[in-house]
Structure 1
Amino acid sequence: MKKLSLIFGMLVLFLTSSCRDVVNSVLDVLPPFDVPFSTDVTVPFATVSTTSYTRTPEIPMNVDLDKKIKENNPNFSINNLKSVKLNALNIQFLSSQFDTKLDVIKNAKIYIKAPNLPEKLIATSYNNVNADTITFTVENEELLEYFRTSQNSLIFEIQGNRVSADKITLRINSGFNVKVQL
Structure 2
Amino acid sequence: MKKLSLIFGMMVLLFTTSCREIANSVLDALPPFDVPFTTNVTVPLATLSTTSYTRTPEIPMNIDLDKTIKENNPKFSINNLKSVKLNSLHMQYISSQFDTKLDVIKDAKIYIKAPNLPEKLIATALNNTNPDTITFTVANEELLEYFRTSQNSLIFEIQGSRLSADQITLKINSGFNVKVQL
The TM-score normalised by the length of structure 2 is 0.89
Answer with 18-27 or 59-68: which moved more. 18-27
Partner of 1:158: 158
Q: Does 1:125 align with 2:121?
A: no
Aligned length: 172
Partner of 1:181: 181
Distance 2:165 2:176 in 1: 31
Q: Does 1:115 align with 2:99?
A: no
Partner of 2:28: 28
2:128 partner letter: N
Secondary structure of 1:173's aligned partner:
strand
Q: CA deviation at 1:70?
A: 1.1
Residue segments in structure 1 that go unaligned for 5+ positions in a row = 1-10
Q: CA deviation at 1:161?
A: 0.3
Partner of 1:80: 80
Partner of 2:45: 45
In the TM superposition, what whole-angstrom CA distance separates every residue of 1:60-117 from its partner, at most 9, and x where no partner exists? 0000111111111111111110000000000001111111000000000000000000
2:88 partner letter: A
Distance 2:36 2:18 in 1: 36
Partner of 1:4: none
Secondary structure of 1:24's aligned partner:
helix
Secondary structure of 2:95's aligned partner:
strand
Partner of 2:3: none
Distance 2:58 2:93 in 1: 18
Partner of 2:90: 90
Aligned-residue Cα RMSD (Å) equals: 1.7
Partner of 1:67: 67
Secondary structure of 2:145's aligned partner:
helix
Alignment identity in percent?
Answer: 83
1:46 partner letter: A
Q: CA deviation at 1:18?
A: 6.2
1:180 partner letter: V
Secondary structure of 1:178's aligned partner:
strand
The TM-score normalised by the length of structure 1 is 0.89
Partner of 2:100: 100
Partner of 1:170: 170
